[in-house]
Amino acid sequence: MENKKQLYTVSIYTENNVGLLNRISAIFQRRKINIESINSSVSEIDGVSRWSIIVEVSKEQIRKIIGQIEKQVEVIRAFYHTDEETIYQESCLFKIKSDLLFEDLQIQNIIKKSHARIVMVNQEFFVLEKSGRKSEVELLYHELKPFGIMQFVRSGRIAVTKDQLKISTLLEAFNA
């Protein structure tokens, strides 16, 4: 089963330094692995960044890749998790013509049913925001597509793990 490909969420805690994106993405590029999505943000620890990288690879590959990522000087720790081991979300924005909102009642039903949120409306267009799993976001996209979408954008996945990652303990040990 080591060779079966599946989606993994790679979570990386790093120092917040210029050039680290290059260094980490190169690890995937070198193995010709496509990054499905990537997100970098602050983490629960001041001054420490957290990355969420989604890739479809085998367990054997991901294990080795984590080793290569952790080896980088500016990386504090790296982890990999399957979908079952994480709570994850994506977010998306739709820009749609405002006329539709008034002319076609069906679109209002779709918005209600999807638990999407209208972020802003003006005379020309309105912006709809939806968070959820990729499948939910995709469903909404397909439902809205026939009406005409002026712009669509989806964020990378962000995820927290069900188990503890104990980064703070690790950093405290350094300061001790």
Stretch that binds other proteins, among 115-123, 132-140, 146-154, 167-175 (CB under 8 A): 167-175
To the nearest whole angstrom, how small is the minimum distance from the Cβ of residue 43 to other proteins? 13
23 lies in the site for other proteins, by CB under 8 A: yes
CA dihedral over 159, 162, 168, 170, signed as positive or negative: negative
Q: Does 169 bind other proteins (CB under 8 A)?
A: no
Q: C-beta of 156: minimal distance to other proteins in Å?
A: 22
By the 8 A CB rule, do 113 and 138 touch? no
Tell me if 59 contacts other proteins by CB under 8 A: no
Helix intervals (H) in the chain: 20-30, 59-71, 98-103, 105-114, 134-144, 167-175
Stretch that binds other proteins, among 8-16, 82-90, 120-128, 144-152 (CB under 8 A): 8-16
- Is the CB of 46 or the CB of 84 nearer to other proteins? 46
Sequence-distant (6+) residues with CB within 8 A of 139 are 114
Tell whether residue 44 is a contact of other proteins (CB under 8 A).
no
**Contact status: 73 vs other proteins (CB under 8 A):** yes
| Rounded-to-integer distance, Cα 91 and Cα 98, Å | 21
CB of 58 to other proteins, least distance (A): 14
Q: Where are the alpha helices (DSSP H) in 6-92?
A: 20-30, 59-71
Question: Does residue 42 belong to the site contacting other proteins (CB under 8 A)?
Answer: no
Token pair of 67, please? Answer: 């080793």
Q: Residue 148 interacts with other proteins (CB under 8 A)?
A: no
Inter-residue contact 34 to 55 (CB < 8 Å): yes
Query: CA–CA separation, 96 vs 80, rounded Å?
Result: 37
- Return residues touching other proteins (CB under 8 A): 14-19, 22-23, 26, 30, 47, 63-64, 67-68, 70-71, 73-76, 171, 174-175
